Structure 1
Amino acid sequence: MTTSPTIQTLVAVLDGLMRRYSERVPDVQKVFDAMLDADIIKSPAEVDNDHIAFRTMGVPNLGLASFEKVFMHYGYERRDEYNFAEKKLTGYWYSPPRVDSTKPQFPRIFASELRVNELSAEAQRIIHHYTDRISDPVDALDLDNADAVDQFLHQPLWTTPTLADYQTLLKESEYAAWVIYNRYYLNHFTISVHNLKAGYNTIDEFVDFLQKRGLRFNSAGGVIKISPDGDLRQASTVAQMIDAEFAGGDTFRIAGSYVEFAERRILPQFQHLPASKITRQHRREGFEASNADKIFESTFTTQTNR
């Protein structure tokens, strides 16, 4: 099968995201090492990436309206909308392009934005101070140049914030504080545990396995977050702390990124199929606002300070 140039570019962009994310989040290698040691996998390449996630600021020229153009260029399609009223967030998930139904697909994408206009006047002032001078950066980006897109997703979109501004935002919206410093860094990637071998292919088994290896999990809403229909089960590590340098030379330890795990159960109408015939289309699709609401808190101080 011939792969189109657009798909080749997408592969390169995703490889770049995962490479830099893995370097920044030591828990990724800890998880892979644990799986290799237990002979769950022979290589990290065997792991099916359920989805990746990004956070954005909902301001003119940025936010989802700008960000989504990157991945929609490669064939991703916007799907369901999610509202997180308490956190003042809007999210969408994006389904990946189908290339070959016999092989694992590209990861889904979950992207969210902060509804900045719902914050206090002071928080809005701080955010707009950094973002108001920016024109839509995607419009000037060559989306067919994988290196340029990779660089864009890892470069500052605005000047480095001051520690005072970061801490002011942190008191009101921990999401806002995370984005003002981390920008478009990959927030997390997600291992599809249902595709692992027996004994490790349920979220309960896999979380227990990793907890015994010393990984810390987000306990908000319970370690395992379960959708009302019971068919989407998720868990995540607590975000890695990073030494951040702020404008003026101040340093402070802040939350970086984390790792998520998902079990998507087989839909009732496909329960009769043999395991060898089960593909992504036979399992619970989409996301669940109640689960995602608590997954967001993997970067919150209530979790990182435990």
Structure 2
Amino acid sequence: MTNQEFFAQLWDDYVAMTPQAQRIHDAFLADGETIINDHVAFRTFDRGPIRLEALEPHLLAMGYTRFAPYEFAAKKLRAFGYLPPSDDQPRVFLSELKCDELSTQAQASIDALIEQIAPQHVASPEVLWAGRLWAAPSFETYQQLMAESEYAAWLSIIGLRANHFTISVNRFTQYDTLEKVLAKVEDLGIGINDAGGRIKGSPEVLLEQGSTLADRQPFTFAGGQTEEIPTCYYEFAKRYHDDDGQLYQGFVAASADKIFESTDVRGERSAGR
């Protein structure tokens, strides 16, 4: 599988979960913009065959290199950024939940999911859009996880897949600021994540980011209960050059912390969704 094929498959899975992304993508194309993907992000648990260090080899095999570590203490997460083998390919952001920092009950619920994973399902890069590798949890389990970690609850029902793609605003001409991009998205009737401000970051930290609020889809939980759950979202990033004239390649932890909240159920409620 080539890198191009990998990201094409990933995109197809992503837009099936995130119809708003295709609408946004098509709207900017219709206005004559060129869309380049700045980065793609994944979520996982730090347990069993889907922990970060077990998934990372799929990225390394595609020519990616580990760039920088990130910690999100309040959300109990660790992450790494990965640089692509060529500038025309997206960066990757891979995070994992530090399960040991959750309650014994939450850890037991997560372990019950992890134990269902068949080894053959994680042996190829397709695992990164495989979705849920376990049976759906009960809605009660989902809510119990939600009480401790929105990330854990999301992952328990959504599974492994890109939680967002990111448009590079640097490549735009008409919509050359992040505020112009966000205004265009709102004109499409799509909500913006305003946790920490509509625009996270600044030219001073060399990166500005904004994102939509996640799409929603109904999911059937164990026992047959069906509930509408936040799925995935679209992000927008503008990078700046450092004092040496080099385009910033990393991520800003304080901004990424708030971008995570694009899938929060509580965040959507506070935003009136």
State the TM-score bracket (shorter-chain normalisation).
over 0.9
Deviations 1:21-53 (A, max 9, x none): 11221111221232134x233xxxx31100000
The answer to whether 1:236 aligns with 2:228 is no
Which residue number corresponds to residue 120 of structure 1? 103
In 2, Cα distance between equivalents of 1:237 and 1:215: 7
Q: Which amino acid aligns with 1:67?
A: L
CA 1:259–1:224 in structure 2 vs 1: closer, same or farther (change >3 Å)? same
Please state how far the C-alpha of 1:266 moved relative to its aligned partner: 2.6
C-alpha distance in structure 2 between counterparts of 1:134 and 1:19, whole Å = 23
Q: Aligned in 2, Cα 1:155/1:86: closer, same or farther, shift over 3 Å?
A: closer
Residue pairs, 1:276-287, within 5 angstroms = 282-287=246-251
Q: Does 1:131 align with 2:106?
A: no
Whether 1:53 aligns to 2:41 is: yes
Which structure has the larger Rg over C-alpha atoms? 1
Aligned to 1:96: 84
Letter in 1 for 2:60: M
Question: SS of the counterpart of 1:226?
Answer: strand
Q: Which residue of 2 aligns with 1:40?
A: 32
Deviation at 1:176? 0.1
- Paired residue type of 2:267: Q
Deviation of 1:269 (Å): 3.2
Offset of residue 228 of structure 1 = 8.0
Aligned to 1:252: 227
Q: Note if 1:297 corresponds to 2:261.
A: yes
Question: How much identity, in percent, do the aligned residues show?
Answer: 37
Report the secondary structure of 1:22's partner residue. helix
Post-superposition CA distance 1:117-168 (Å, at most 9, x none): 10011111111111135465566x2x4xxxxx43762243222211111111
Gaps of 5+ in 1: 1-7, 99-103, 144-148, 271-281
CA displacement, residues 195-250 of structure 1 (integer Å, 9 cap, x when unaligned) = 111x3122122112222332210010001001583320000000001101112211
Q: The residue matched to 1:128 in structure 2 has which SS?
A: helix
Residue 68 of structure 1 is matched in structure 2 by 56
Structure 1 residues 224 and 243, CA, compared in 2 at 3 Å: closer, same or farther? same
Deviations 1:56-91 (A, max 9, x none): 011132210111121111111111111100100001
Q: Distance in 1 between matches of 2:109 and 2:52?
A: 20
User: 1-side partners of 2:112 and 2:166: how far apart?
Assistant: 34
Q: Does the aligned pair in 1 maintain the 2:213–2:263 contact within 8 Å? A: yes
SS in 2 for 1:249: coil
Q: Residues 59-208 of structure 1: matches in 2 within 5 Å?
A: 59-98=47-86, 104-134=87-117, 137=120, 141=123, 143=124, 149-150=125-126, 153-197=129-173, 199-208=174-183
Query: Which letter maps to 1:163?
Result: F
Q: How many residues align?
A: 270
Gaps of 5+ in 2: none
Letter in 2 for 1:298: S
Q: 1:211 to 1:62 in 2, by over 3 A?
A: same
Letter in 2 for 1:234: Q
Structure-2 separation of matches of 1:264 and 1:116: 32
Q: What residue is the counterpart of 2:12 in the other structure?
A: 19
Task: Give the secondary-structure state (helix, strand or coil) at the position aligned to 1:178.
Answer: helix
SS at match of 1:248: coil
**SS of corresponding position for 1:268:** coil
Normalising by the residue count of structure 1, what TM-score does the alignment of the two structures yield?
0.83
**Is residue 164–residue 233 contact of structure 2 (8 Å, CA) maintained in 1?**
yes
Deviation at 1:19, TM superposition (A): 1.2
Q: Tell me how far apart the structure 1 counterparts of residues 128 and 52 of structure 2 sit (CA, whole Å).
A: 15
2:151 is paired with a residue whose SS is helix
